[in-house]
Amino acid sequence: DYELCEEWGHLYPVPREDLINLHREQLLHLLEMGDMEKALQLLQRIEDPGVCLAISEQCLDQHLNLAASHFLADYLTAHFYASLTTARRNEIQALYIGSKVLLTLPELSRVNYFHLSSRPLLMLEQLLMNMKVDWVAVAVQTLHQLLAGQEIGFTVEDIDNLLSKYAEKALNFPFTLKEKRS
């Protein structure tokens, strides 16, 4: 049905809003089906960059599954980096990095942290509070690689400060040790 509507749009004038709605619904359908190849082909077929940007951003704001969010954040960063405001650019890059960190976690645990995918620093803190030290090690390594030369609202120093804060708390004993005298 989507392909038929798309062909119709090439033959007859279709209002811009209707065209955006059609492509957005088609893209959402492809992303829900997990067909990233066809989703990319659809985005490449859209001739008007403004329409393509609008569709991609609207779909990203739908908070789809992890793979779809990662795909859209990557696509927007790669193709529309200069067209985005600094705040939106940071938001999209944070989502991209957060989804990358989520992909390093065990598959069954990703759902517990998905709501933090756009806030990777908070996700890291949650992992620390949940005592997932092995996961934190992999997440920090991934973050260090991804943050090289990127500006997304936090830095490697912020990660190091967070780790230092929780390391200090781990060594803080709430009671004093008394010496036993014989």
1 falls in which pLDDT band (50, 70, 90)?
confident
- Burial class from Cβ neighbours inside 10 Å (0-12, 13-18, 19+) for residue 143 reads buried
Give the residue from 52, 32, 33 showing the smallest Cα distance to 42: 52
pLDDT over 70 at 24, yes or no: yes
Question: Cα(43)–Cα(64) distance, rounded to whole angstroms?
Answer: 17
pLDDT over 60 at 182, yes or no: no
Both tokens of 152, joined, read 């997304």
Domain range list for the chain = 1-84, 86-171
- How much is the pLDDT for 75? 92
pLDDT over 70 at 180, yes or no: no
pTM: 0.76
- pLDDT tens-digit series, residues 71-125: 999 999 889 988 888 888 888 888 888 888 898 899 888 889 888 888 888 999 9
The alpha-helical segments, DSSP class H, found in the chain are: 2-11, 16-33, 36-45, 49-60, 66-80, 86-104, 110-113, 120-129, 133-146, 156-171
pLDDT over 80 at 31, yes or no: yes
Q: Is the dihedral of CA 132, 137, 138, 144 positive or negative?
A: positive
